[in-house]
Chain A
Amino acid sequence: MGWVSTHAHFLGNSGLLSSNDCASNLNLKTLLPPRLRSSRVRSGEARKVVAFHGLRRPPYKLDALEPYMSQKMVEMHWGEYQRAYVEGLNKQLEKNNILYGCTMDELVTVTYNNGNPLPEFNNAAQVWNHDFFWESMQPGGGDIPKQGLLQQIEKDFGSFLDFREQFIEAALSLFGSGWVWLVLKRQKKKLEVVKTSNAITPLVWDDIPILALDVWEHAYYPDYKNDRSSYVNAFLDHLVSWNVATGRMIRAEAFVNLGEPTIPVA
């Protein structure tokens, strides 16, 4: 533990963060004795922060999802609504140096704080969720997945239509604000449809999201008013990007063993 005391000594004196690396800062937070932690914050020698999180553009023009999502609605949703979350998050990060330097994924899991979310969680998770959402769609989307992903869906849901029904049912039975996910459950090693409230994301349970649908009212109200059913159907029929889902699935298979490999008989 000599390493820790050296660091603690250094921080106690200079009042500066020793590194930009979120992970090591977090370790220090738990290892530092309270006195030294507070003296660092109070020292006033805060370093000048140079970079925060930005508003990531969707991978298509803002009018590309017409007529299923009007350009006006996408501009409002991404340009104003999501931007407010990004700016809110950056403002919070200004005050809390511990979290500065974290990636979005780290921010979400750390600020979730095992079910007792910190104030930064709402902003961080909503930024993450919305980025994931825009990337889950493409112009000319819809249709059905192919090959491996389709096989996995058929294995875990029975058929693609069963999955579709479950997805729609989840979206329509979600009370209030939230998200509907196609997620790969790490422990169960299978795909499931999951609905979450407000800003919660399957990341916090260490599961791997494959697709997301925003069912907060702001996501569909301007175009669909209260007709959530038409919105969900439009998403599944015309917007969902199975290409992206397949890519995410391929990456997920590097972390989750989905089944026994077929070993050819010699």
Chain B
Amino acid sequence: MALRTVFSRRTLASLRSGLSSSVTPTGTRSLVTFSLPDLPYDYGALEPAISGEIMQLHHQKHHQTYVTNYNKALEQLEEASNKGDAPAVVKLQSAIKFNGGGHINHSIFWQNLAPVHEGGGEPPKGSLGWAIDEHFGSLEALVSKMNAEGAALQGSGWVWLGLDKELKKLVVDTTPNQDPLVTKGPLIPLIGIDVWEHAYYLQYKNVRPDYLKNIWKVISWKNASKVYEKECP
């Protein structure tokens, strides 16, 4: 099933917050479980920048695994905290951080990509465009900075363009593994690029810089501007 055009308002609303959730009652306390958000475009819609094969595996396998394991970890957490089992609670933290982070990050990722015919790759206009010119000099400077940091990242992680909520300025940062951007400070993610090998290996092999160069053709600055304008009206 490659067609993904049906997009409910509920999923849209919850996606804006980066999570897709549904409340399912289990016993007296209801545990919130998360589900895989739909992509707002076909798997093949981002070609040739990102192949349909990668998009399908990335979404259906990797992201789904994070969601499944996140739900499992949350269930185990509830059980452990109800029992007052402190060691078990603490032991679960890394699984929650990893899988929860994976779910958060990928939900953001799908939103900040768009097919070319839906504005993917179009440079930012309005206040975000000006903020970029102010903080980085130009869009090209920002892109090369993010590409450099993304290429230099050892192992697995993400490279971000974020907005510092308190200082109201744009920052470029990286996070290792699946750590979400919030772990680096009061930062709101505007653009996130997955530099785990699974995000590009089948198409770009080990040439991560080529992947980074090409992904900008399908980055949705429209989405980033929306998030930015919400914080800095």
Q: Which residues of A contact B (CB under 8 A)?
A: 76, 80-81, 84, 122, 175-178, 197-199, 216-218, 221-222, 225-226
Contact = CB atoms under 8 A, between A and B. Distances in A.
Given A76-B206, A199-B154, A218 B94 contact: no
A122 B154 contact: yes
A222 B201 contact: yes
Nearest to B196: A217
Nearest to A218: B197
Interface in B181-233: 196-198, 201-202, 205-206
B205 A216 contact: no
A221 B206 contact: no
A221 B54 CA distance: 11
A198 B155 contact: yes
A217 B176 contact: no
B177 interface: yes
Contacts of A122: 154
B169 to A, nearest CB: 29
A84 B154 CA distance: 14
B155 A226 contact: no
B155 A177 contact: yes
Contact of A81 (B65, B157, B206): B206
A175 B154 contact: no
Contacts of A80: 205-206
Interface in B3-54: none
A162 B7 CA distance: 48
A226 B57 CA distance: 8
Given A217-B196, A221-B198, A176 B205 contact: no
Contacts of B176: 176
A222 B65 CA distance: 18
Given A175-B178, A177-B197, A218 B65 contact: no
B65 A226 contact: yes
Contact of B205 (A76, A175, A177): A76
Given A217-B156, A218-B197, A175 B177 contact: yes
Contacts of B94: 175
B155 to A, nearest CB: 4
Contacts of A216: 155, 197
6 shortest A-B CB distances, which residue pairs? A177-B155, A217-B197, A176-B177, A198-B155, A176-B156, A175-B98
Contacts of A225: 57, 61
29 contacts: A76-B205, A80-B205, A81-B205, A81-B206, A84-B206, A175-B94, A175-B177, A176-B156, A176-B177, A176-B178, A176-B196, A177-B156, A178-B155, A199-B154, A199-B155, A216-B155, A217-B156, A217-B196, A217-B198, A217-B201, A218-B201, A218-B206, A221-B197, A221-B198, A221-B201, A222-B201, A222-B202, A226-B57, A226-B65
Interface string B51-95: 000000100011001000000000000000000000000000010
A198 B152 CA distance: 13
A175 B69 CA distance: 12
Given A81-B206, A177-B156, A221-B197, 19 more contacts: A76-B206, A80-B205, A80-B206, A81-B205, A84-B206, A175-B98, A175-B178, A176-B178, A177-B155, A197-B155, A199-B154, A199-B155, A216-B155, A217-B156, A222-B201, A225-B57, A225-B61, A226-B62, A226-B65
B91 to A, nearest CB: 11
Contact of A221 (B177, B178, B202): B202
Interface centre among B155, B157, B176, B177 (most CB of A within 10 A): B155
A199 B156 CA distance: 12
B23 to A, nearest CB: 28
B177 A226 contact: no
Contacts of B156: 176-177, 217
Contacts of A222: 201-202
Contacts of B155: 176-178, 197-199, 216
B213 to A, nearest CB: 17
A22 B73 CA distance: 49
Contacts of A197: 155
Nearest to A82: B206
Nearest to B94: A175
A221 B65 CA distance: 16
Contacts of B178: 175-176
Contacts of A177: 155-156, 197
